[in-house]
Structure 1
């Protein structure tokens, strides 16, 4: 694996740990009957952070599909179909 890939992976893991902390904080807010609007704000922040991890991971999947492909590669259409499926399913 490349150093760049490893750095991205570590950044995503770090972001997931932050999201995990946010979720624990939200649980605490709910247990303390915190203001609903404040709780919603924290839920929104956690969701956006998780969405960012999701889209960066999806981009990684797309890159893996395209790595080593050339425009005249017989498998290119199959790879593009898989990308389309991923975007339709998860995007």
Structure 2
């Protein structure tokens, strides 16, 4: 299972690619819609790319809430990984 730091790095890279901005401009507190100006399709794309990157299903509805941060995305990925390990 990937470490928390590894997950943060990989999720931040995914978000940066979709937001079309440098990785160093994104922090764990960056909000997807409010700060990075992503739309709902881009948020779904984060979930799809995270599924491909980590090999676990990611519920995009968990990323579609208001004020979702990069840190929240990391938490969702970690939960998906934990569920995969338990089964």
TM-score, normalised with respect to structure 2? 0.30
Higher relative contact order (CA 8 A, sep 6+): 2
Which has the larger share of helix? Answer: 1
